[in-house]
């Protein structure tokens, strides 16, 4: 069961998605930098879809997930 929230408007739900996507992108970059010891060039390259890496597209989709879930669960 998904708990109820007071987030109802599309703008607020999209803002929640932006915050979630930003947190996940920063967390991913910090893990790659600190744990995996990758350079910033390699980390940034992983966000570039032109190189065949679709992490940035997934983050853009993640922005819409809170709104999409609310649409699916609202009768």
Q: Does 9 reside within a domain? A: no
Q: Does 16 reside within a domain? A: no
Give this prediction's pTM: 0.80
Q: Does 3 reside within a domain? A: no
- One pLDDT digit (tens) per residue for the chain, 75 residues: 556 777 778 899 999 999 999 999 999 999 999 999 999 999 888 888 888 888 899 999 999 999 998 888 877
Do residues 17 and 69 lie in contact, with contact meaning Cβ atoms separated by under 8 Å? no
Structural domain span for residue 70: 30-75
Q: Does 8 reside within a domain? A: no
Do residues 59 and 21 lie in contact, with contact meaning Cβ atoms separated by under 8 Å? yes
Count up the domains in the chain and report the number.
1
Closest CA to 68 of 26, 10, 18: 10
Nearest-angstrom CA–CA distance, 71 and 5: 14
Q: Does 73 reside within a domain? A: yes
Q: Does 10 reside within a domain? A: no
Residue 9 pLDDT: 86
Q: Does 58 reside within a domain? A: yes
Residue 3 pLDDT: 67
Listed in sequence order, the residues at least 6 apart from 18 whose beta carbon sits closer than 8 Å to its beta carbon are 63
């Amino acid at each position: 069961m998904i708990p109820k929230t007071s987030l109802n408007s599309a703008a607020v739900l999209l803002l929640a998605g932006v915050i979630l996507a930003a947190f996940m992108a920063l967390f991913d970059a910090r893990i790659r930098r600190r744990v995996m010891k990758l350079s910033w060039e390699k980390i940034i390259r992983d966000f570039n879809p032109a190189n065949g890496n679709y992490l940035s597209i997934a983050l853009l989709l993640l922005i819409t997930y809170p709104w999409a879930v609310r649409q699916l669960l609202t009768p």
